[in-house]
Structure 1
Amino acid sequence: MYPPVDPIIFHIGPLALRWYGVLMLTAILAAALVASREVARKGEDSENLWDMLFWILIPGFLGARLYYVFIQSPRGESGLGYYLQNPGEILKIWGGGIHIFGGFIAGSIALWLFTRIRKLNPLPYLDAIALGLPLAQAIGRWGNFINQELYGPPTTLPWGLRIDPQHRIPPYNDLSTYPESARFHPLFLYESLWNFLGFAILFWISRRFQKDLKEGDIALLYLIWYPLGRFFIEFLRTDSWFFPGTLFNVVHILSAISVISAVIGLYLSHRPSTTQGSNV
């Protein structure tokens, strides 16, 4: 598997249209269309969903970027140290390097504020966004392919990814040990496929079991599906900071908390009622 064409599609003066941005925009629009139709199907006003996007996207992207810079990026010259020496680079989201968990945190706070101000029930909107979100992630991950990022350790598998030397992080930039012919695990592809499958499963569940589902269930199922796959993919990450002497990082902890909390939430939501009527 080889990297694609130049990340920049074309220039207009000092401005550049990048494949990364095009893919991000495509992902957002695809998820928003799915979410707006789901909101309307549940009897809510889909216009609220489109208005909500302006509240969620900016803080969501900022949260995702700041999480990557200060938590997820590798330590050293190519990671946090680089950003601390070049603070102007921190907000250059178009260059790649965003993290979904930071987006979750900031976006969820923005969504909560929006629904509080509009006096809306947040659960139908959470479900709708959770339904479209894995589709957005599956599409957006191909931006990592364009930028030659989100790859794992070397592999001899036939779908191994070629990474140009200038895009490699230590120790894989040592061409005497890892020559240009080396191939690497395409983690972006693993996560993209996992998310496409997750979208298909959540969509099927939302239709097949719509009479049994409660508000918030789709969101909880998403918080099980995505973090479960991410937990195992993280073991192959080469661009993360891991706890010294372990194979674990912060994402493992957050993923485990998400899965356990969502499972408990589903159980509590669907547990049989123990209240029994009294006979007189």
Structure 2
Amino acid sequence: MNSASAVFLATIPSPDRGVWHLGPIPIRAYALCIIAGIVLAIWWGDRRWVQRGGTKGTVVDIAVWAVPFGLVGGRLYHVITDSWRYFGEGKDPVKALYIWDGGLGIWGAIALGAVGAWIGCRRKGIPLPAMADAIAPGIVAAQAIGRLGNYFNQELYGAHTTLPWGLEIYQRFDPNNPSIPDQGPNGIAFGHIPLADSPVHPTFLYELIWNLLIAALVVYADRKLRLGHGRAFALYVAGYTLGRFWVELMRTDDASHILGLRVNTWVSGLVFLGAMVYFFAAQRRGPREEPERLRSKDAEPVDDDGKVTDRK
């Protein structure tokens, strides 16, 4: 075995495709990862909500509002900040609607998702900050799962590296015509031909690992400090944006820039500062919300032991 083969075997290979077909039905890895992340966030959030004294099933009811709003917000942010991908000479604006091809901006997803969650919380008569604290670790864990979708789409990577965990990226082609290059999620890596910069830093993996660490940090701090009034959520946002800041500095894929820095680098820094200010300012609001404040207004009445009582 020559040295070149040894180096190759020490790297991380990319999948040869991000889409499979079950007859006429496309099975997209990116979409599956997003769905799996949403399911995990709802399941974990509901468990945490009940542990804090809330009504079982409330998180599912809130998700009915938050998830669609979040998906729309995430896509809007991506299309606005990367408008050059869809608008202009030779571009197809209709592809701005192709959410299944990848492209969800977390900032838009959180912002508009929060609007949906606020609507759901108002309908249930529960405080939004308390709900945000319950779902915080689930959201960042869902983001980690979502990054696996970027792996299958062969996107969100950094510069060339000789480190043993470097990511091999391959030239992909149109599945219907292997002579036509297609680096999008629908392309297939016939022959596994490395691109010029391969292997590269797997920045999607760096962010995935960081997200899992932040989820663990939020759970630990929440138990230790009994965080309330949105402080656990603020800790998640601050931790996530801190990691996203340095990951954005490493990425080399196409992106919009302001004053020489990627848009998401600026946003990460500003959101980090805002989250930290809120984390310390909200401490003045006192201890964590009492359990009775977390029961939705349409929940069954319970006695002091938490058992359902008869309605009168």
TM-score, normalized by the shorter chain, greater than 0.5: yes
Q: Match of 1:65?
A: 75
Is 2:212 the partner of 1:206? no
Is 2:118 the partner of 1:137? no
Q: Which amino acid letter does the alignment assign opposite residue 51 of structure 1?
A: D
Q: How does 1:255-270 map onto structure 2 within 5 Å?
A: 255-270=268-283
Q: How does 1:78-89 map onto structure 2 within 5 Å?
A: 79-81=85-87, 85-89=91-95
Counterpart Cα distance in 2 of 1:203 and 1:95? 33
The Cα offsets for residues 135-193 of structure 1, whole Å up to 9 and x where unpaired, read as 1011110000001011122222222222223428xxxxxxxxx9557212111101101
Counterpart Cα distance in 2 of 1:45 and 1:5? 45
Cα 1:181–1:236 change in 2 (3 A) is: closer
Contact kept? 1:52, 1:114, Cα under 8 Å: yes
Q: Match of 2:127?
A: 121
Shift of 1:101: 0.8
SS at match of 1:201: helix
The structure with the larger Rg is: 2
Q: Match of 2:17?
A: 6
- With structure 2 as the length reference, what TM-score do the two structures score? 0.75
> Is there any run of 5+ residues in structure 2 with no aligned partner, and where?
1-11, 172-181, 185-193, 287-312
Cα 1:164–1:81 change in 2 (3 A) is: farther
Q: Which amino acid letter does the alignment assign opposite residue 243 of structure 1?
A: I
> Which of 229, 233, 248 is residue 243 of structure 2 equivalent to?
229
Q: Match of 1:173?
A: none
> Which of 157, 160, 173 is residue 154 of structure 1 equivalent to?
160
SS at match of 1:38: helix
Contact kept? 1:42, 1:124, Cα under 8 Å: no
Residues matched between the structures, number: 255
- The alignment-based identity, stated in percent, is 32
Q: Match of 1:186?
A: 202
Q: Which amino acid letter does the alignment assign opposite residue 257 of structure 2?
A: F
Q: Match of 1:276?
A: none
- With structure 1 as the length reference, what TM-score do the two structures score? 0.83
Structure 1 stretch displaced more, 64-73 or 193-202: 64-73
Contact kept? 1:151, 1:186, Cα under 8 Å: yes
Q: How does 1:267-278 map onto structure 2 within 5 Å?
A: 267-270=280-283
Q: Match of 1:32?
A: 42
Q: Which amino acid letter does the alignment assign opposite residue 8 of structure 1?
A: V
The Cα offsets for residues 185-212 of structure 1, whole Å up to 9 and x where unpaired, read as 11110110100111111112222332xx
Cα 1:86–1:193 change in 2 (3 A) is: same
Contact kept? 1:39, 1:49, Cα under 8 Å: yes
SS at match of 1:17: strand
